[in-house]
Every structure is written in C-alpha cells, then in structure tokens.
Amino acid sequence: MLTLTSLAVVGDAVLLPFYPQYFASRFGVNDASLVGNYLAAMCLVVMLALPAWAALARRVALLRLLPVTQLAAALLCLCSAFSNSMAVFWLASLSMVACKASYLLIYPLLMSQTPRQQHGSLIGLLSVIVHFGGIGGALLGGALLGLLPPGDIFLLMALADLLQMALCLWLRWHPHVSSAVAEAEQEQAASPQAAGAALWRLGLLMLLFYCSAYLVRGFFALYWQQQSGIDNSLLAAAVFALPAAMALLGLWHARRRSQRGLTATAGLRHLWWLGAAGLLLQAQPWLPLLLLGRCLFGWALFQLTVWLDLQLFRHSSPARYARDYSRISLCQNLGVLLSSSAAGVLVAGHGLLAPFVAAALGLLLCWLLSPVLLREPAPALSQGVCP
C-alpha cells in the first residue's frame, strides 16, 4: 500500500511546479491567471470526485475499483500527451485527475488497519512519502523538461499509472493483503453516522490552512528562476522540494523523541508563526534568506499537517474513516482550489512576491482561529510528531 502511494505521488508531482513553463512551451500561453485557473480546476475535480469514489467504494471493493480507475487514468494521460488544443487538453487532463482521485481512499483504509496509538507515526510516515514523492516528481519533471518534448511527460505519467494498476492487481490476488483489506472495508461500511460539528470546525481550519500553505506552490519555480537568475529547471525543482527534506528531518526528530520516551508538551501555536516567518523570508531578494525561509516553512508545514490529520482521526472512528476523510478532503481541496485561483490573480496583479505575503497572513489567521475552532488545547502526542 505504501509503495502504491509512493508511485501515485511521484507520478502526480512531475509537472506540478512547472505548469507555467509547460503551457508556455506547449501552447504558447503565458497568462498567469489561466495557469492559476487550471490548478484551481484540478482541485475542484478532486474535491467533487473523491466523495463519489468513497460512495462507490462502499459497494465495490477498493482493490477491484482501483485497477479500473488507474487504467482509465493511463488512457487519459495518453490523450493529454497527444492533444494539440487547449480545450482538448483541459478535458482529457481534468478527467485524468478525476480518476486519480480514487487513489486517496488508500489513506483512510491504511488508518483503519492501524491501531490508534500508532496513528501519529503512520501519518508522519505518509506525509514524508508525499513530500519525497514531491521531490522525486519535481526533480524528474525538471530534468525531463530540458530533455523531452513537453507532451512526452504525460507518457511517463501513463506508465506510472500502469505500474500502479499492476501493483493493485498483485495486492488483490495476494491472500493475506486482500483479506486484511476486506476486513477493513467491512468495518468502514458498518456505521452510517455523520461527522459531528467538531469535524466540520476542523474542516474550516484545514480549508484556511491549505489555502495559505499552497498559495506559493504554483509559481514558486518561476519565482526562484527570476530571483536567482538561473534558468535551470532541475535546480528550481530541488529548491521547490526543500520542504520535503525538512519533512524527513521532522520524521527523524519525532522518532528520536519517541525512542527517548519524550512527548510534545509545548503545543503547536508557535509553528503558525514559524511558517509565516518562513514565507516572509522567501519573499526576500537575498538567496540565503530565501533558502532559510523555505526550510523553516517546510518544517512548520510538516508538523502542522501531521497534527491536523491527527485531529481528524481523533474525532472519527474506524467505521467512519473513509466517509469523514472524504468530507475533510472536500475542505482541504477547496482550500487548495481557492489558493490556486488567488495565486493567479495575485501574480497577475501584484507580481510574484504577493502570494508569499498573503500566505503568511493566512497562517497568522489560522493561529488566531485555531483555539476557537478546535475549542480545546492540543493534547501531548506520544508519537512525538511535534518538536
């Protein structure tokens, strides 16, 4: 399951930092607002598709569903690779994203198979996989953009989908894995209870957090190339992926604290400030400060993401993980959607620095609202996911 998640993340991240350059080289489009709208449309598709897949997964076993959606995603990747018009590309690539949204159901399934006391460790590990999938995808995308025609990148994404389909089929035919998955799915389908008010308050906080955290993502590679004066996609991808390295450091730090029997007692409120400071440092023209800010932002982003996900599973139960996760994911993706649209508008109207300032203000607003929305202090986490 973790290998399947890794393949999905790497395949999806190949073009993520480079859509402005992709649209410019493939279609001759340099409109920042259009790129922002495309990223927003991707988030909207995921936001609408995931609840539908979650509902279907209550009737069809997940390991039967995923090979079909992965094959469809691979075919739509091929359509995206050979499309010559913007309209056809949007239709094919967004349909591909809708199919890929089904992969997200692996997350609540893994959590339902894991004892509650190990949730923090698993969330941290999955977060690192996501971050390092971002590293691998971004570095691969940066290298490929300099070597291959833009459309060929979608051919490699199709190959990744086919590999995931093969892995799903293997998992389905493996007796031990398939029986464990079937038991978890039966437990998830056992309760029709709806999420409580606490879950929706958490969803509102996540919406604001994801909107702020992802505001700088779409145009960061372009911003780095402008600030550094280095027109190298691979180097831009490496700097873009610095938060992933900080996530690995955070996971190592958490494991060390856990082995020494230490818990997080200081809370997380200072991390909102640390993330905001990291964003503002990235808006500075001096490259060492920019890199330092990237690292501080990555450290805070990892810790806060793990903690917020823990709150989700604290307010839910294994029988409702898939349903509650799909609802919280709606809030997360709405935040990313808003950030994508806002980023395009901010860059078009105020330049590449504006998203960093707006994102910092958003994190400070999260700091103000988190005690009100959660209505309880953050508990000490024995897994040590917080510094």
Could you state, in order of their start, the residue ranges of all structural domains in the chain?
Answer: 1-189, 191-374
Candidate ranges 9-18, 133-142, 217-226, 248-257; pick with highest mean pLDDT = 217-226
Q: How far apart are CA 149 and CA 26, in angstroms?
A: 8
Residue 306 corresponds to which tokens in the numbers above? 């793990």
pLDDT of residue 258 exceeding 70: no
Average pLDDT over residues 63-80: 90
Q: Which pLDDT belongs to residue 150?
A: 66
CA nearest 151: which of 253, 83, 61?
83
CATH of 191-374 among 1.25.40.10, 1.20.1250.20, 2.60.40.1730, 3.20.20.450 = 1.20.1250.20
Rounded to 10 degrees, the C-alpha dihedral 100/103/105/110 comes to -170
- What is the rounded average pLDDT of the residues 343-356? 88
Please report, rounded to a whole number, the percentage of residues in the chain having pLDDT higher than 90: 19
Angle between helices 86-100 and 32-57 (to 10 degrees): 40
pLDDT of residue 12: 67
Instruction: Kindly report the CATH class assigned to 1-189.
Output: mainly alpha
Do 1-189 and 191-374 come out as alike in CATH topology? yes
| 107 vs 126: CA distance, rounded Å | 8
Q: Beta-carbon neighbour count of residue 291 at 10 Å?
A: 15
Q: Would you place residue 117 in the very low, low, confident or very high pLDDT band (cuts 50, 70, 90)?
A: low
- CA 343 to chain centroid, in Å, comes to 17
What's the angle, vertex CA 10, arms to CA 8 and CA 11, rounded to 5? 65
Determine the Cα–Cα distance for residues 82 and 100; give it in Å rounded to an integer: 19
